[in-house]
Amino acid sequence: MKKTLITIFTVLSCLVCRAGAYGSITPDGTFMYARRDSCDLYLDWYKPSEGSVTEIDGVRKPTILFVFGGGFKQGFRSDASSDPWFRKLTDEGYTVVSIDYRLGLKGVTGAGFNPEFTRNLENAIKIAVEDLFSATNYLIENAESLGIDPDAIVVSGSSAGAITVLQAEWEICNGRQLASVLPDGFNYAGVMSFSGAIFSRQGGIRYGMEPCPMMLCHGTADKIVPYGQIWFFNIRFAGSSVISRTLRRKGYNSRFFRFEGNSHEIASTMCHNFDREMDFLEENVMKGRRVIIDTTLADDGVPVPDWAKGGDYRKLYNKD
């Protein structure tokens, strides 16, 4: 059976959330974490707000390492649309790190389930994960000066960033070559994904070892990053519904929030889902409780950013 890969990343190229005017937050430090042939890569570091509670029952709250969205074509670590979420996290006592990564589909046109675009997509995901792992190593190596626990790093991403963090955890759990740059035995403390997916040439999505606790949010009507999966023979582009099915079948520590009837705007709901994130971080991650949730939400209050308004925004943003 063959399904068509619609113009997913043409639309994602404009997924830089513009949900209105927000207050700003200034990084407490900016550091170059890697030098590539094409560019230098930086991360922004935000300390917990002064006076905030940084521990629960004597356990330090984890660092949240964020990967922005933008279809692997555009976006940047300090986009002001992320400021409210960063502010809420630091006010709750969390350290936040936001990173650059190489944009592997920048300048790439077209789409479709054809060999050329599939290779381009696969490479874009690969180099984003490479950069995420480089940033992770930087945090581990500089944990003391940055005041973080290297064993308590939670990765989170929106859209293309969500694809990156889900792919990274899949690479780690399957002992793949891409993850060999990380310290032996390392894994993230958790994953929070907003409209993400995993790319595989090995057929169905499987985990060779138990993944870290995972929280997935996805709209059931998402036509940009698949809620289910797009596949042809052994190639899979598997979204949150397929990933969650694998996690639940194995009894792995995970939460999946299916937003009934919503589309790709769920990629921009980090603030909207803040209470759910806090509960996941405190219960599944910090306390290590195996809380498995799979629930469908009819949520009329989901904010719809400008890029998702006006009907068929696949056409609206099909500019390449």
For 91, other C-beta atoms within 10 Å of its C-beta total: 15
Residue 169 is predicted with a pLDDT of 98
What tens-digit pLDDT sequence spans the chain (320 residues)? 334 443 444 444 444 434 333 458 999 999 999 999 879 999 999 999 999 999 999 999 999 999 999 999 999 999 999 999 999 999 999 999 999 999 999 888 766 667 788 899 999 999 999 999 999 999 999 999 999 999 999 999 999 999 999 999 999 999 999 999 999 999 999 999 999 999 999 999 999 999 999 999 999 999 899 999 998 888 999 999 999 999 999 999 999 999 999 999 999 999 999 999 999 999 999 999 999 999 999 999 999 887 776 544 443 233 32
Give dist(CA 34, CA 208) in Å, integer.
Answer: 29
What Cα–Cα distance (Å) separates residue 124 from each residue in 14, 101, 134, 250? 16, 10, 16, 30
Give dist(CA 89, CA 255) in Å, integer.
Answer: 20
Residue 44 is predicted with a pLDDT of 98
Give dist(CA 94, CA 97) in Å, integer.
Answer: 10
Residue 115 is predicted with a pLDDT of 77
What Cα–Cα distance (Å) separates residue 101 from each residue in 75, 130, 224, 300? 9, 9, 21, 34
Residue 16 is predicted with a pLDDT of 41
Quote the tokens at residue 36.
Answer: 């590539």
- What is the greatest pairwise CA distance in the chain? 57
User: Angle at CA 179, nearest 5°, toward 175 and 184?
Assistant: 75
Task: Decide: 205 and 246 in contact? Cβ < 8 Å.
Answer: yes
| Consecutive H or E run containing 274 | helix 274-279
Task: Decide: 285 and 190 in contact? Cβ < 8 Å.
Answer: yes
pTM over 0.85: yes
What Cα–Cα distance (Å) separates residue 13 from each residue in 10, 90, 194? 5, 29, 16
- Residue 147, judged by CB atoms within 10 A of its CB (0-12, 13-18, 19+), counts as middle
